[in-house]
Amino acid sequence: MAESLSARNIVKRYGGVVALSDGNLDVHAREVVALIGANGSGKSTMSKVINGVVVLDGGQLLLDGQPIRFTSPQVAKNAGISTVFQELSLIPQMTVAENIWLTREPLNAFGVVDRKAIKTRTEELLALFEGTYKTALHPDSPIASLPPDERQIIEILKAMSFDPWLIILDEATASLDSRQVQRLFDLVAKWKEQGKAIVFVSHRMEEIFRIADKYTVLRNGRTVGAGSIKDINEQQLIKLMIEKESALGFLRGEAKTEEKIEKEVSLEVENLTSGTLRGVSLQVHKGELVGIGGLQGQGQRHLLHSLFGDIPYSGTVRLFHKDVRFKHPHEAMKAGVALVPGDRAKEGLLYIRSILDNMLLPSWRRYGMPLKVSNARKDAEQTGSSLNLKMAGLDAPVSSLSGGNAQKVVIGKWLMRNPQVLLLDDPTKGVDVGSKAEFYSLLTRLSEEGKTILFYSSDDEELIGLCDRVLVMHDGMIRTELSGNTLTKENLIAASLGAGERLGGDA
Amino acid sequence: MSRKNKKFVLLVTILITVASMIAACGAPQTEPPAATQEPATEAPATEAPTEMPATESPTEAPATGEATEAPGAEGAPFTIGISNPFISSEYRTQMIEELIAVNQEYMDQGITTELVIESADTDVAGQIQQLQNLIAQDVDAILVNPGDVSGLNATLQEALDAGIIVISVDQELDVPGVYNVGIDQKEWAKTSAQWLADKLGGEGDIVQIEGFPGHPANVARMEGVAEVFAEYPGINVLATDTGRWDEATGQQVMSNFLASYPNLDGYWTQDGMAIGALQAVMAANPAQWPQGVGEGRCQYLRLWEEALTLNPEFDSIAVANHPGVSPTGLRIAVNMLQGKQVDESKLGGANDLSFVLPLAAVITSDNLDEGLAMCEGQPDAYLLDDILTEEEVQEFFVQ
Amino acid sequence: MRRPRWESLTGRQPALFALILLVLSIAINLIVQPNMFARETLNSNMRVFLPLILLAVGQAIVILGGGIDISVGAIASIVNTVLATRVGLDGSPQEMWTYVFLSLLIGLLAGAINGFFIAYLRLQPIITTYATSFLYAGFALYILPNPGGGIPATIAQLYRSSTPLNLPLAFFIILIVLLIWLYLRATRYGRFLYAVGGRPQAAYETAVPVTWVQFSMYVISGLMAALSGIAITMLSGSGNADIGGPMTLNSITAVVIGGNALSGGIGGVAGPIMGAITLGVLQNIISFADIDTWWETFVRATIIVVALAAPGIVNLFRRRQS
């Protein structure tokens, strides 16, 4: 068994995006290293580099001090490195046993997979988590039929079945309940005794301090700190994760938050519950820009889509003091609600069609039957120029635009309907810095015009710089509300990670 | 629970399959021929025997002569099967309709029962299946329009071995015992090629639009055309392209030719592509119109008439490749079933196994009016046709 | 929670529908054609179905692995033209078997070309095999521009009328293919195939040799297409460069009726075999039931559409229930 693995000055690019610019990590046998960082800091990329899933663009990996190249997951596996993937590496169509032993099936003399042996060994592995799963988990259950926590357990058992010396746990606890987490940590302790090394990627501060021996902090693709967990506390860790100064100047609205609160409540949500939402209540005032923050995948998208009538929900939604229940986005649109989706390519735009066609899509009805194209064109031009849209002409295809300008088309097509409530689903993802700044000033302007804006972003700086209030979501609920003096980066990240004391607001 | 149910359903279905297999294997082997007759025949089977004696004599004057020697009465009424692997063309539509009509004559006389028609767009394996189904239904004769020149040979041999009379229409096969009925494709093509050569006075630049390269009929036709033009050194074939027997493609190919060769003197083409070609000429309306070969379809004759109003100088010829060969084949099959001896000396074709039928209609500017008259009341798709009468068919049999 | 044995035989549950459809169509066929199970009738049917069955088996394996092969019919055509031109009507049995062997090599090579482009150069399977289908069809046409040629009648007869143990020869061939598949499925390779078809990224992360598996499944498909070409040559006894083309789409239809998901990872080979037989039996029913000629195509298409839609409908009900 190996004794140590080191990553030195790792560089990894995806197209033009730099995921890692200077990643460093050291891990030794008999220790747990916590790999920590904010959203998009390069944690997942780092683990993919160590397990050979991605080929690195620069830097070096050292196994017991000797340079080694992982050209494929197979090579890394052979070197005794095994991973519990955040996005699970299970084949949904195959059974638990088939998945766990894939590529290492015990064979009989004729090269036939020994089903009995597989079953016995799978049952042995399952026994490790016995009592923590709800349904009768069986070696022959198809993965597709399992709930997320059981899939996560299978993913952990699969990584174990390789009998590796280094195990990477990438957000392995995210979908586990406390009993299951405890069982996993018991295993981790046992692995340490057996001389294994563990890389623990997690957002949960409490867990990090519970099992980690060392820490490594990534920020913007760079390792900015490493050391023994004994020598650091939560606050210091969070500080490390946060950039010292922002590169962007934000234009917050002139009007003071207090003034806005006096205005009427335009959107009111009470106890909204759906698949992932576990009772969300909030109020937004006219002309207010409210941010939704938190780690990715805590129900923010669900909230916006529920409000837009995309996802069925239970609970009460009041729009301008009237109870509404949208069953279809069409109804939401009619009531003056617009959603700017996060995935432009999939949800927001028809890329090969012209800018005009795209802008017209939600509102073509207004231009009659047959279409009064000249009117539509005039309105579209006006909207385009108000957004400062850089284009060759309205007839150019959207695919000819840059990311930022394409996003403006998505917003433009909703603005043409003059909506009163704007729901924004991480709109600046993959948008260049210049366009971002323009986009911010647009948002500020819209909110000054009296529009109600609910703005989810995975970029914490945006939320802090732009929003009057930020609602931090965690596990399908609003955990904390930050505004005024409490709206700081430290508080936001701490609230996202669920660390430290609760900072006021309704939970 | 549901899994248990599923397992049970499965078990039952398997048992049923196995049971039905065993039951079926036992039963028909004892008396196979009797079992098959029932499904296909139904109504006519009951009507025919009563009608037969009454209708036999008073049909036609010469027919009485045969009636005495018609030993076919032994097996009558006969069941005749049709196998056709291609239905998406007017030719085949007309062919099937005419077969049904001619068979109706024989049914009225109690000589045959309703046709067993196997007609669908299918491949070689599919047509083999068609033939096997016909054999399994114990038909007395099979009329096959083969989709493949030799792929059906083994299956047809099995039909012959089962004592079934097999006639191939529209396509010559080389299986001893199988008689072919059709026109001489080469002659057919030569007729129009000869006209074109004469029309141009043996000199000029022409283009050719052919059907599917490699298709037997197309190969025979193009050979004939080449033979004719070889005799005229003054005729210069500038280009040959395929219109894939498709009107639209023919039009496109001709348009391209007209653009590349503005001074074209003539063009040779065949079947539906001729309509496309003439439409291309009419659309382009060049200073000098090429003279072109047409086809024996009412739509073409009407288009030709229209073209003359645009350019009275235009001339054409329409030689019908007529679907009537199939009903003629049906008559031959019936006569053979009745026990008449084929006069082998009258047969022609590559292997002297073919009834070579005369061309149905040759329309030139001289008799265009007659041709149009024949189309009176017929749809555009109608092909000028000719079905040999019962008397004419007797030519091929030993008197 | 234990899954029934047969499911592990045919893949997951989808083959159930293929079986029901097959039993149903055989039952109807039996009504309109009572002597359907007589030895001669059964044999003459099975020998016609076999080429499509073999093609569908290859197609099923590719689709299982998350790909598709549009070129199978064209590969069968090449084999048909090679046999028809090289062996000839009066060739010797030795020549025949030599070229049968060569045909298998041709199938392997054609499949390897597909596999190379798709697995190693990462080209789209549907586009790639669509392109190579023209390449292969063109090659077949080059070998045999005009239909003709053939194989010795005695050898064709061997295929057409051998009925060992009073059962059609095709039964034994299907049995052998099925046994080989069951073996393959039980090996590690079988697991890889399902994994690659199910979620290639996850398979890759688990160190499954994804590229190699993808390559190999096209080679298998090519080999099955060659076997299909040999079968159809023995059936027709002659050569025609267009002989395989129309079978391609039917092979995909058979696979889908057989319950395999076009997205890959679900299904098996037994289902598609049943699907191919069902397609053939359907044609029998239509002709024996004396359906009017002009309705025939329509009726057949309707049955196929219903057959394709039915698994989806079954799933819909299942979801409703749960």
pLDDT in tens, A188-207: 999 999 999 999 988 777 88
ipTM comes to 0.81
pLDDT of residue A433: 60
| Same domain membership, residue A260 and residue A234 | no
Q: How confident is the model at residue A258 (pLDDT cuts 50, 70, 90)?
A: low
Q: Is position B380 within any domain?
A: no
CATH number of B146's domain: 3.40.50.2300
pLDDT of residue C189: 94
pLDDT of residue B56: 38
Write out the two tokens for A135.
């349904």
Among candidates B6, B28, B214 on the partner chain, residue whose Cβ is nearest the Cβ of C34: B28
pLDDT of residue B104: 93
Asked if C8 is an interface residue toward chain B (Cβ–Cβ < 8 A), one would say no
Residues 6+ apart with CB under 8 A from B393: B328, B331, B332, B335
Query: Does the beta-carbon distance from C12 to A73 stay under 8 Å?
Result: no
pLDDT tens-place string over residues A38-69: 766 788 889 889 988 888 888 999 999 899 98
Q: Please, is B244 exposed, middle or buried when counting C-beta atoms within 10 Å of its C-beta (0-12, 13-18, 19+)? A: middle
The mean pLDDT of chain A is: 82
Between β-strands A32-37 and B204-210, what pairing exists: parallel, antiparallel or unpaired?
A: unpaired
Counted domains in chain A = 3
- Res B25 pLDDT > 50: no
Full domain range(s) for residue B110: 45-53+67-183+323-357
In this structure, which topology does domain C10-321 adopt according to CATH? ABC transporter involved in vitamin B12 uptake, BtuC (1.10.3470)
CATH number of A482's domain: 3.40.50.300
Residues of B in contact with C20 (CB under 8 A): 13
- Closest chain C residue to A52, measured at CA: C205
* CA gap A238, A387 in Å, rounded: 37
pLDDT tens-place string over residues C106-137: 999 999 999 999 999 999 999 999 999 999 99
Helix (H, G, I), strand (E, B) or coil at A50: helix
The mean pLDDT of chain B is: 81
Å from C191 to nearest chain A CA? 7
- Strand-pairing partners, residue B317, are B293
Counted domains in chain B = 2
Asked if C38 is an interface residue toward chain B (Cβ–Cβ < 8 A), one would say yes
Residues of B in contact with C283 (CB under 8 A): 120, 122, 126, 129
Among candidates C194, C201, C208 on the partner chain, residue whose Cβ is nearest the Cβ of A93: C194
Write out the two tokens for A121.
């060994």
* CA gap C77, C65 in Å, rounded: 24
Query: Does the beta-carbon distance from C235 to B128 stay under 8 Å?
Result: yes
| Same domain membership, residue A360 and residue A251 | no
Q: What's the rounded mean pLDDT across residues B254-268?
A: 92
pLDDT of residue B62: 40
Q: Is position B197 within any domain?
A: yes
Query: Does the beta-carbon distance from A73 to C205 stay under 8 Å?
Result: yes
Domain boundary among the residues A241, A268, A302 is at A241
Upper half-sphere CA count for residue C279 (Cβ side, 13 Å): 30
pLDDT tens-place string over residues C233-288: 999 888 888 889 889 989 998 998 888 888 888 889 999 999 999 988 888 887 77
- Res B159 pLDDT > 90: yes
Q: Is position B244 within any domain?
A: yes
Query: Does the beta-carbon distance from C237 to B150 stay under 8 Å?
Result: yes
| Same domain membership, residue B243 and residue B257 | yes
Q: How confident is the model at residue B241 (pLDDT cuts 50, 70, 90)?
A: very high
Q: Is position B376 within any domain?
A: no
- Res B5 pLDDT > 60: no
Asked if A140 is an interface residue toward chain C (Cβ–Cβ < 8 A), one would say yes
Query: Does the beta-carbon distance from A89 to C202 stay under 8 Å?
Result: yes
Q: Following DSSP, what letter does each residue of A207-265 receive, concatenated?
A: HHHHH-SEEEEEETTEEEEEEEGGG--HHHHHHHHS-SS-SS-----SS-HHHHHHSPE
Q: What's the rounded mean pLDDT across residues C208-213?
A: 93
| Same domain membership, residue A369 and residue A328 | no
Q: What are the Cα distances from residue A240, in Å, to A237, A243, A488, C112?
A: 5, 8, 15, 54
Size of interface B-C (CB pairs under 8 A): 156
- Res B321 pLDDT > 90: no
- Look up residue A5 and give its DSSP letter: E
Of A401-415, A483-497, B40-54, B217-231, which one has max mean pLDDT?
B217-231
- C102 phi and psi angles, rounded to 5 deg: -60, -40
| Same domain membership, residue B198 and residue B84 | no
User: For chain A, what percent of residues have pLDDT higher than 70?
Assistant: 88
Query: Does the beta-carbon distance from C205 to A53 stay under 8 Å?
Result: yes
Q: Chain-centre distance of CA A43, in angstroms? A: 12
Asked if C301 is an interface residue toward chain B (Cβ–Cβ < 8 A), one would say no
Upper half-sphere CA count for residue A49 (Cβ side, 13 Å): 31
Query: Does the beta-carbon distance from B149 to C238 stay under 8 Å?
Result: yes
Q: Residue B108: enclosing H or E segment and its boundaries? A: helix B90-108
Of A436-445, B213-222, B305-314, C224-233, which one has max mean pLDDT?
C224-233
Which positions 166-225 of C are in contact with B (Cβ < 8 Å)?
none
| Same domain membership, residue A396 and residue A483 | no
Among candidates A103, A136, A141 on the partner chain, residue whose Cβ is nearest the Cβ of C206: A103
Query: Considering only CB atoms, which residues of chain C are within 8 Å of chain A?
Result: 1-3, 12, 183, 186-188, 190-192, 194-195, 197-199, 201-209, 265-266
| Same domain membership, residue B208 and residue B130 | no
- Closest chain B residue to C1, measured at CA: B3
pLDDT of residue C85: 92
Give the dihedral sign, CA B310/B311/B312/B318. Answer: negative
Query: Does the beta-carbon distance from C199 to A90 stay under 8 Å?
Result: yes
Residues of A in contact with C203 (CB under 8 A): 91, 102
Q: What are the Cα distances from residue B216, in Å, to A370, B146, B213, B290, B356?
A: 54, 11, 9, 28, 16
Among candidates B32, B130, B154 on the partner chain, residue whose Cβ is nearest the Cβ of C38: B32
pLDDT of residue A348: 67
| Same domain membership, residue A259 and residue A237 | no
Poorest-confidence range of A365-374, A469-478, B310-319, C224-233? Answer: A365-374
Residues of A in contact with C195 (CB under 8 A): 91, 94, 102
pLDDT of residue B50: 37
Q: Residue C110: enclosing H or E segment and its boundaries? A: helix C93-115
Of A289-293, A495-499, B252-256, B342-346, which one has max mean pLDDT?
B252-256
Asked if C109 is an interface residue toward chain B (Cβ–Cβ < 8 A), one would say no
Q: Is position B11 within any domain?
A: no
Query: Does the beta-carbon distance from B20 to C27 stay under 8 Å?
Result: yes
Closest CA to B209 of B252, B248, B235, B240: B240
Full domain range(s) for residue A258: 246-336+420-507
- Closest chain A residue to C5, measured at CA: A140
| Same domain membership, residue A412 and residue A426 | no
Asked if C48 is an interface residue toward chain B (Cβ–Cβ < 8 A), one would say yes
Query: Does the beta-carbon distance from B214 to C147 stay under 8 Å?
Result: yes
- Res C213 pLDDT > 90: yes
pLDDT of residue A499: 55
| Same domain membership, residue B343 and residue B265 | no
Write out the two tokens for A494.
């701490």
Between B23 and A110, name the one with better pLDDT: A110
Chains A and B touch (3+ CB pairs under 8 A): no
pLDDT of residue B131: 93
Residues of C in contact with A51 (CB under 8 A): 205
Domain boundary among the residues A200, A224, A241 is at A241
Å from C293 to nearest chain B CA? 6
pLDDT of residue A446: 84
Q: What's the rounded mean pLDDT across residues C98-111?
A: 96
Among candidates A92, A94, A103 on the partner chain, residue whose Cβ is nearest the Cβ of C207: A103
| Same domain membership, residue A159 and residue A66 | yes
pLDDT of residue A354: 81
Instruction: Enumerate the domain spans of chain C.
Output: 10-321
Residues of C in contact with A88 (CB under 8 A): 202
Q: What's the rounded mean pLDDT across residues A260-281?
A: 81
Q: What's the rounded mean pLDDT across residues C149-173?
A: 88
| Same domain membership, residue A234 and residue A272 | no
Helix (H, G, I), strand (E, B) or coil at A20: strand
Between β-strands A4-14 and A58-63, what pairing exists: parallel, antiparallel or unpaired?
A: antiparallel
Neighbours of chain B (3+ CB pairs under 8 A): C
Q: How confident is the model at residue C296 (pLDDT cuts 50, 70, 90)?
A: low
- Look up residue B175 and give its DSSP letter: -
pLDDT of residue C315: 63
pLDDT of residue B52: 39
| Same domain membership, residue A192 and residue A72 | yes
- Res B88 pLDDT > 80: no
Domain boundary among the residues A241, A272, A288 is at A241
Between C152 and A399, name the one with better pLDDT: C152
Among candidates B10, B21, B148 on the partner chain, residue whose Cβ is nearest the Cβ of C240: B148
Radius of gyration of chain C measured on its C-alpha atoms? 20
